[in-house]
Structures are given as C-alpha cells and as structure tokens.
Chains A and B, each alone.
Chain A
Amino acid sequence: TQLLEQSPQFLSIQEGENLTVYCNSSSVFSSLQWYRQEPGEGPVLLVTVVTGGEVKKLKRLTFQFGDARKDSSLHITAAQPGDTGLYLCAGAARLTQGGSEKLVFGKGTKLTVNP
C-alpha cells in the first residue's frame, strides 16, 4: 500500500512569515501534485511535478520533488491570510489496467495565516 505522510498536520503562523510543508513516502510516484482545498469545496490543483529534483515556482509558492521521486515540499514565502487553507499532496500511483493511475493523497496540512 502506498502512503503519503504530510507534516505538519496543523500550522498557524503570522502574516509575513515563511513556512514549509513536507510530503514523504517510502514509495516512488510517477508524478506528484499539490492541491489547496477550502472548507466544503473540492481541491484546486496548484502544481504537478514529474521529474526527480524538479523545482517549480508559483508566485510566493515553491514546490520541489525529491531526487528519488518519493517526497516533496511546499515552501511559502511571506505568507498572507489568503494562503489559509488545507494543502494536500497527492502521488500518481499505477492501477492494474494498462497505464491508468489513481491519486494517493496525504491527510493534508491545515494552514492558518493570521493577519
């Protein structure tokens, strides 16, 4: 069974601070996606990383995929109240039928940025 562990589970910080969220597994994933979810809504895709060691930037958010494609991190610089939400990492895992993949999600990191 492929599992993704996210840490920390909860994070409460002040506006302007930096933070890093980690996503770790003992399994290799073909790609890894980061989502942000607001209460009562579906997850919204932030980024997909595919290549080991890949780094992608989205404004103040920096995403990194581990060299072995087993882990990833999300770093937010100068956090703002609008960054508040549940951050989920998800790895693409092979299904049994030819080439199909499902997403395996971590439990998420609930981020609160206080003004």
Chain B
Amino acid sequence: DAGVTQSPTHLIKTRGQQVTLRCSPISGHKSVSWYQQVLGQGPQFIFQYYEKEERGRGNFPDRFSARQFPNYSSELNVNALLLGDSALYLCASSLTTGGSYEQYFGPGTRLTVT
C-alpha cells in the first residue's frame, strides 16, 4: 500500500502570498493531521481532521486553515505569508484519533517564503 503522499515537494513564495498544500492519507485512514517543523525543532501541531470535521487546532493564527474532503484527502491553506512561515509542513494520517493510535507521516512540503 502507498504511504502518505504530499504535494508539492518544494515551494517558494513571497511574503503576502497565499499557498495551498495537499495531502493524501494511507488508504483506509480517516484522520489527517498537519504539523509545522521549523529547522532545528520538532514538529508542532496545526490541525487535525477526522471524517471531514475539525477535531483540534494548535496555536496558529487564523491565516492557517484546512479542510478534509470526502475521500479523506486534505488541504492546508496559509494566507498572507510571513518569512516565519518558512518550514517543512508535514501531513500525518491515522486510522482514528484516540487511544494508542499511530500516526504515519508523509515526506512533507518544504515551503520557503522570501
């Protein structure tokens, strides 16, 4: 089975622009989570979606938004980009959202804001 896929792999944007990142979960997984990883840090939680509903949101501004589609794929949108948004954006999928569930990560999208 294919793992979590993300697109694009790399992206360069300028300040003030908007960006959309895409994620396809592992087949059968209904939950998708998004994480931001700044260089030298561990991933930081942004959003979690399960069955198309938002289940949680991390400490990120309203410029960040996401949604999940009927096929369980997901998009992360970031508006009014700032230099500080430069990071590796990771998508993780899991069967469910609680208990000792395990999350499987995609390769990430490297976003550079200039």
Q: 1/0 contact trace for A84-110 toward B, CB 8 Å? A: 000010101001110111111111100
B33 contacts A44, C-beta separation under 8 Å: no
Q: Is A72's CB within 8 Å of the partner chain B?
A: no
- Give the distance to chain A from B47, nearest Cβ to Cβ, in Å: 9
Binding site for A on B (CB under 8 A): 4, 33, 35, 40-45, 48, 50, 55-56, 58, 88, 90, 92, 97-108, 110
A103 contacts B103, C-beta separation under 8 Å: yes
Complex CA distance for A96 and B55, rounded to whole angstroms: 8
List 7 tightest A-B contacts by C-beta distance, closest first: A105-B42, A95-B56, A42-B105, A99-B98, A100-B97, A100-B55, A31-B100
- Give the distance to chain B from A74, nearest Cβ to Cβ, in Å: 15
Complex CA distance for A115 and B18, rounded to whole angstroms: 45
Binding site for B on A (CB under 8 A): 4, 30-31, 33, 35, 40-45, 48, 50, 88, 90, 92, 95-97, 99-108
CB within 8 Å for A102 and B42 given contacts A42-B107, A43-B105, A50-B100? no
Q: A42-B4, A43-B90 are in contact. List 15 more A-B contacts (CB 8 A).
A: A42-B108, A45-B103, A45-B105, A88-B42, A90-B43, A96-B56, A97-B55, A97-B56, A99-B98, A102-B45, A105-B43, A105-B44, A106-B42, A107-B40, A107-B42
Residues of chain B within 8 A of A101, CB atoms compared: 97-99, 101
- The listed residue (B4, B43, B98) touching A103 by CB distance below 8 A is B43
19 contacts between A and B (CB under 8 A): A30-B99, A33-B102, A40-B88, A40-B107, A40-B110, A42-B105, A42-B106, A42-B107, A44-B105, A45-B104, A48-B100, A90-B43, A92-B101, A103-B33, A103-B43, A103-B103, A104-B45, A107-B40, A107-B42
Identify whether the interface residues of A are mostly helix, strand, loop, or mixed: loop
Residues of chain A within 8 A of B48, CB atoms compared: 95, 100, 102
